[in-house]
Amino acid sequence: MVLRADGGGKVLAFINPIAGLDRLLRLYEGVRRKWGEGWAQMLEPAWIDGLPGYVSRERGDVLQTTALAIEGGRITAIYITRNPGKLGHVARAFAMRPDPTLRTR
């Protein structure tokens, strides 16, 4: 298993790929310990470059997509994109939606 992230040098992201399930689990445990529960908000599931995944808003209000490569029923790779230059179309799609917290009469 490998995790690859792209922040484009504009937002915080892992610089090097994280390889191996044990390393990945330790990484996510460290992130949870550092920032606590609820530091990310999943916005909705999505197909990303033909892979199942989701769009989320992370700590610091950073928009992110996460795509999962699955082989034989197991996740083999995780691809995270946080680079705002690559997510403009995603940001525009969410900006055009009505705010779900607003109520109409």
Please give the single-letter amino acid code of residue 13: A
Residue 100 has pLDDT above 60, yes or no: no
Rounded Cα distance between 9 and 20, Å, is 24
User: What is the DSSP code string of the chain?
Assistant: -EEEEE-TTTS---SS-EESHHHHHHHHHHHHHHH-TTS-EEEEEEEETTEEEEEEEETTTEEEEEEEEEETTEEEEEEEE--TTT-HHHHHHHHTSPPTT----
Q: State pLDDT tens for residues 54-99.
A: 999 887 788 999 999 999 999 999 999 999 999 988 888 877 665 5
Question: Percent of the chain scored above 90 by pLDDT?
Answer: 48
pLDDT at 104 over 50: no
pLDDT of 102 strictly over 50: no
Percent of the chain with pLDDT over 70: 90
